[in-house]
A and B are shown apart, each in its own frame.
Chain A
Amino acid sequence: MHPVLTLVVQRLALGILLLLAASALIFGLTEILPGDAAQAILGQAATAENLANLREEMGLDRPALTRYFEWLGGIVTGDMGNALTNKLPIADQIAFRMSNTLFLAFWAALISVPLAILLGLIAVRYQNRWPDKLISGVTLASISLPEFMIAYILIFFFAVQLFWAPSFASINDGMTLLEQLHAISLPVAVLTLVVLAHMMRMTRAAILNVMQSAYIETAELKGLTTFNVIYRHAFPNAIAPIVTVVMINLAYLVVGVVVVEVVFAYPGMGQYLVDAVVKRDVPVVLTCGVIFAAVYIVLNIIADVVSILANPRLRHPK
């Protein structure tokens, strides 16, 4: 078997173990939280008697392990079950929410990743001169501001003052792609600003590290222009660290967008998860958590495989 394939299989097996561990951990944590779904529904009006009734009705009176394995058994057989609170099938909700989240993440990634790499290359080309300092300054400022702050600043200027984009990012199937993109333009901009700095700085650092190599001197002594030296000789050797950090940020775009979704009232996974936590809807929390964990694991496997493929010593053994 090809070594890369062996690695992928190993990582996938390990990933499934990790997912199990993550689900157990999430379940344990929801058990530790004070209160449960019954209490969340009844709220102030709860009496000991109707709490007990509701718990029995929802099956919450059974031991924790039983409930966990019931959920696990469902997931393994492809049945995500129903939400505790509104009895709706979780699968339908997730399909809708996940596609929204992926739609947002996809466009944010499509803009931020090439932009970050390009800015990184420019920063290296003009190292320690004004373009480098400007790029570093702006991206660092944008990563230093809290996301909701950036979001409100953008809303203030582009939605309230200029009327260029809506402040509520609501999309539906009836809209054309262009209308949908217009609707999500502000959240995409916020996400781009948030993830740009990390990727850009890693690109810059990885390429600068490679620029110390003797083969860069060889390239310079061939009379190549500085940009060609960076692009043709330094960049191919800096791919592995760059891909790793890109994957971490892609994962963030899927998993870490809760705040942005809330600010723009965007119906994505993040909002769904937050609602479920508030309502102590354990099956929903578990399912969302496992999906988020799976996204991280898969993206990391991709990063590892790309790192290997980027290394000619591993790609072309002696």
Chain B
Amino acid sequence: MTDPLVKVRGLRIGATVYPPGEKPHDIEIVHGVDFDLMPGKVLGLIGESGAGKSTIGLASMAYGRGGVKITGGEVWVNGRDILKASLGDVRKLRGGEVTYVSQSAAASFNPAKQIMEQVTEAAISQGKFGKKEAEDRAVSLFRKLGLPGPDTIGKRYPHQVSGGQLQRCMTALALCPEPDLVVFDEPTTALDVTTQIDVLAAIKDAIRDTGVAALYITHDLAVVAQVSDNIMVLRMGDMVEYGPTDQIINHPQEDYTKALVSVRSIDHPEKAPAGEPVLKCEHITARYKGTSFDVLHDVTVALYPGQTLAVVGESGSGKSTLARVITGLLPPRQGKIVFDGRELTPDQPSRPIEDLRELQMIYQMADTAMNPRQTVGTIIGRPLEFYFGLKGAEKQKRIQELLDEIELGDGFQDRYPAELSGGQKQRVCIARALAAKPKLIICDEVTSALDPLVADGILKLLLNLQASENVAYLFITHDLATVRAIADSIAVMYQGRVQRYGTKTDVLSPPFDDYTDLLLSSVPEMKLGWLEDVLANRKMESAGN
């Protein structure tokens, strides 16, 4: 039997943390992890944020990001313990034997240099290839990864190619020096779903054709199931479960793994449209100031009281612009918005306070939507004062009621946002929106920045609140699993138009138009061989090509 390419034993990793109001101190973030990776095999590292998966990936290059330090254990690569190697030796390893593909290629490419120079840099400086050889190899990798104009794309600067293309360029960068191991760190997470599938397929083919081994890091079990031979499930720096992909997906042993496998299985039967719509958008056409093209064309949708309309689309489809029009931040060129039977004025400053109160918003980044210098109590109390003039004990009582509603209980009033987890922050934002007793809440990608299990909790909370408060949601998302979980009706947006609109069952049932088919089929499913099936049955090219 061959020796493993990577052998990790008792890996411990620590970091220095700087909590607000406390002295900096060291914590351990990975508590002794073991695994082997054979040459040419793919190991999936999966877990939620904070599980330590990226940290372990970077440890295979003897690298600690920021204040992260490897504190113990052994990492053997190609038969030597790289934690004991000299700096010069480690530099030979990085970019030579082991390379790295990051989540955001857009940030990981140097904006001041042409793509070709960056793709070939490691191969040349490591002495693996001469300049000409390296460039030829890069071009053939560009071709293999399905990039348009493989002979010329290297001459471009990073801002001149799309996100999906840049992610493939990053894969070419990693493969160019003919490494033994590539660390893929969430390489498709930042991409649109229809682009993700192409990049995923390109990565999978490249791994197969070059015979390189890979550590594939992601929080999305359905994605990792498509590319991995083995999967390791991590949680808070500990290994939870480790085994062949088939076993982890189909026969998980641990409760945590089972929860990950069954995530996004909220069953939400749709409600039929009933009564007068709380919101009607009629023939909305809009464009941004100083531009000469419309970003919304003739958008007409309706939303009924106590129901959820999911607006689905990829980046650039106009879904967030629609929210801006409804809230009055971007007055439309044509069309009108009817809210609760009355037509809203197009621009936000001229709307009466009642209109503002009844139409609330929750944002994707709960972090930036709260003042970090205000306590949770102050944040939730503000709309109570502003809309209802509540003061003193009355206000305190209502704040506590709202905190109970979002399942945060006692002791949260005096905390600052920095002391909350991501899910808790989003809950506070929900409470702040609820405090105004709105008829409609616009939810703009509210679960996109959260881990799957946490996102599930938020969705369940939103559904419960809808049942008790009879509030309607306009739910903007790119994630179809979320749509299935929460929507009553769906509007699929594509290039500023409503491509398909109707009740959830209608929209999600065939026959589909080509775009909806592409979108639906691109959502990773938690089964082996899904990727190949989908690519074999596609009718339309995705925008990322």
Binding site for B on A (CB under 8 A): 213-215, 217-225, 228, 233, 236-237, 310, 312-313, 316, 318
Contact = CB atoms under 8 A, between A and B. Distances in A.
B110 A237 contact: yes
17 contacts: A214-B102, A214-B104, A214-B107, A214-B108, A222-B99, A222-B121, A222-B122, A222-B126, A223-B90, A223-B122, A224-B121, A236-B112, A237-B110, A237-B112, A312-B112, A313-B159, A318-B160
A218 B110 contact: yes
B112 A221 contact: no
B173 to A, nearest CB: 8
Contact of B99 (A217, A221, A228): A221
Contacts of B95: 221-224
B225 to A, nearest CB: 27
Given A221-B63, A223-B95, A316-B160, A215 B125 contact: no
B157 interface: yes
Given A217-B102, A318-B159, A223 B91 contact: yes
A271 to B, nearest CB: 43
Contacts of A312: 111-112, 157, 159
Given A218-B102, A222-B126, A236-B112, 10 more contacts: A215-B111, A218-B118, A222-B95, A222-B121, A223-B90, A223-B92, A223-B96, A236-B110, A312-B157, A313-B157
Given A223-B94, A312-B157, A312-B159, A218 B113 contact: no
Interface residues of B, number: 31
A60 to B, nearest CB: 54
Contacts of B157: 312-313, 316
Contact of A221 (B61, B107, B109, B125): B61
A218 B94 contact: no
B118 to A, nearest CB: 8
Nearest to B107: A214
A223 to B, nearest CB: 4
A228 B94 CA distance: 14
Interface in B44-83: 61, 63, 65
Contacts of B121: 219, 222, 224
Given A221-B94, A236-B112, A213 B107 contact: yes
Pick from A228, A237, A312, A318 the residue with the most CB of B within 10 Å. Answer: A312
Nearest to A216: B110
Contacts of A313: 111, 157, 159
B121 to A, nearest CB: 6
Top 5 closest pairs, chain A to chain B, by CB: A222-B95, A223-B95, A214-B107, A223-B94, A222-B122
A150 to B, nearest CB: 37
Given A316-B157, A316-B160, A219 B110 contact: yes
B494 interface: no
A162 B65 CA distance: 53
B474 interface: no
Nearest to A234: B110
A219 B125 CA distance: 11
A222 B91 CA distance: 8
A227 to B, nearest CB: 12
Contacts of B102: 214, 217-218
Contacts of A224: 91, 95, 121-122, 125
A215 B126 contact: no
Contact of B93 (A223, A237, A318): A223
A313 B156 CA distance: 11
A9 to B, nearest CB: 22
Interface string B276-293: 000000000000000000
Contact of A218 (B91, B100, B126): B100
Contacts of B61: 221
Given A218-B102, A221-B61, A222-B122, A236 B113 contact: yes
B100 A221 contact: yes
B111 A222 contact: no
Contacts of B113: 233, 236
A220 to B, nearest CB: 7
Contact of A237 (B107, B108, B111, B126): B111
A217 B61 CA distance: 12
A218 B159 CA distance: 17
A225 B23 CA distance: 34
Contacts of B159: 312-313, 318
A217 B122 contact: no
Nearest to A215: B110
Given A214-B104, A312-B157, A312-B159, A222 B110 contact: no
A188 to B, nearest CB: 33
B152 to A, nearest CB: 13
B112 A225 contact: no
Pick from B122, B156, B173 the residue with the most CB of A within 10 Å. Answer: B122
A233 B63 CA distance: 19
B108 A215 contact: yes
Contacts of B90: 223
A228 B159 CA distance: 23
Pick from A222, A224, A225, A318 the residue with the most CB of B within 10 Å. Answer: A222
A260 B161 CA distance: 53
Contacts of B93: 223
Nearest to B98: A221
Contacts of A221: 61, 63, 94-95, 99-100
A210 B247 CA distance: 45
Nearest to B91: A223
Contacts of A219: 110, 121
A217 B108 contact: yes
A285 B110 CA distance: 49
B63 A220 contact: yes
A173 to B, nearest CB: 45
